[in-house]
Amino acid sequence: MRRLRNTKVIATLGPTSSTAETIEELHLAGADIFRLNFSHGTHADHRVTYTHIRTLEAKQGRPIGILADMQGPKIRIGTFAEGPVYLEKGASFRFDNDTAAGDASRVSLPHPAVLKSLDIGSELLLDDGKLKMTVTGVSDNHVDCVVSTGGKLSDRKGVNIPNVVVKISALTDKDRRDLDFALELGVDWVALSFVQRPEDIAEVKKIVAGRAAVMAKIEKPAAVERLFDIIELSDAVMVARGDLGVEMPVQEVPSIQKKIIACAREAGKPVVVATQMLESMISSPVPTRAEVTDVANAIYDGTDAVMLSAESAAGDHPIEAVTMMNDIAEVTEKDPIYRNIIDATHGDLEATTADAISAAASQVSRTIGASAIVTYTTSGSTALRAARERGKTSVLALTPSLKTARRLALVWGLHCVHTKDAENFADMVAKACKISFAEGFARPGDQVVIMAGVPFGTPGSTNILRIAWVGEQ
């Protein structure tokens, strides 16, 4: 199955899309990676869904990536004794560790580490930013606030705390159980929520121990401030615009999105844009024009993947939503302006053999009009460097590791094929030509550019660039 686009599509699975039949329809419509959202569903539910995906993968003969998204800490207030309260602007309000039901003057905030992280002047946003409060006094067991934006406040509403590094781990006890389960299943990617600092990623990578790739969700201002360090430690990043748009002025989100994409591309790390991309398609069979433009803009910026959340997990039109994502990507990438933007935002090369070979392969393929670039990769690093070029020529990533093929399904422009490694130089050329033909990327008489490393099967040894003619197969 050959996609007619380079940008990948991630579809979240949920109540309306977890049957084997629907998962297959979503894949045929354009979904390259499936997201299991551990904020919802039981382990038993996710196991069944995982089995459906792997069965489909075997049927289609195409590597399919699976992303397990951890819930992360959810900071919520307690309950009110007599139902919702209305807080006027300028009123005083207290958050404390008392478990008693609240009233118009106080409510429980059952997170001791959060209370200890606040200082005078800290801001608290409640109910997705509908209410705003400023801390005026702190103690060991409570904080006093003044209401700066009033409104109705009801039981267990969420709390966002921008511009404060909260002294809690990005992994809750629930997340640790979910992570152990996801790794035991065999997921390819783990997405970490509530990332505030590089140490959060280091903690998860120590637990994962190479069994999956780790994606940092950038959804807090503290993470934006430490962006370069977080990208360096992560295997990929996600522009998680939900909480990001609550904790920062919404008008800043577009520029932050562009910054994250640019930094990830410069580092050669995959980047995903997510949240509310086709939100109206939860209930409508067609998106708004603004949503289509939003998706296209992320593609113009060179994102590796765009993601659907509730649209495919719980919406009325999951297949249509994936089809629309696929179609937007195809049309956008055909626009001559797209190629101009991608070329103009190309990052500087690193002084490595892999970067030199990848850049040369891209240049040679353009010069001779090659039908494809074929990369042999074991760890995936060679294919990642080829994708970083964002070249015009299609890239086939051949790997003997099914785990690597599944992870690379997320990456811009890579068509992954799980196959045995080359035995010798002649086999390298023959296999590249044969697979290019079989996968529909080249015809007899076409040329392909081959990237590989000698000795074969040695990770990080990319040192060969070869041009080959595709003969009769």
How far, in Å, are 176, 336, 349 from residue 184 at the CA level?
Answer: 12, 45, 38
Q: How many CB atoms lie within 10 A of CB 199?
A: 15
Check if 275 is active-site.
Answer: yes
On whether the CB atoms of residues 336 and 346 are closer than 8 A, the answer is no
- DSSP secondary structure of 176-192: HHHHHHHHHHT-SEEEE
Give the number of C-alpha atoms closer than 13 A to the C-alpha of residue 311, restricted to the C-beta side: 29
Integer Cα distance of 3 and 32 in angstroms: 9
Number of H helices, E strands in the chain: 17, 21
- Is omega for the bond preceding 455 within 30 degrees of 0, making it cis? yes
Integer Cα distance of 364 and 373 in angstroms: 10
Integer Cα distance of 322 and 10 in angstroms: 9
Q: Find the catalytic residue in 275, 332, 377, 393.
A: 275
Work out the burial of residue 1: count CB atoms within 10 Å of its CB; fewer than 13 is exposed, 13-18 middle, 19 or more buried: exposed
Check if 35 is active-site.
Answer: yes
Check if 458 is active-site.
Answer: no
- DSSP secondary structure of 271-305: EEEESSSSGGGGT-SS--HHHHHHHHHHHHTT-SE
Tokens for 308? 């659907």
Q: Find the catalytic residue in 5, 8, 35, 403.
A: 35
Encode burial over 163-189: b for 16+ CB neighbours within 10 A, e otherwise.
Answer: ebebebbbbbeebeebbeebbebebbb
Q: Find the catalytic residue in 217, 241, 265, 269.
A: 217
Sign of CA dihedral 264, 414, 208, 113: positive
Q: Find the catalytic residue in 76, 157, 174, 211.
A: 76
Integer Cα distance of 467 and 235 in angstroms: 31
What amino acid positions are annotated as catalytic residues? Answer: 35, 76, 217, 275
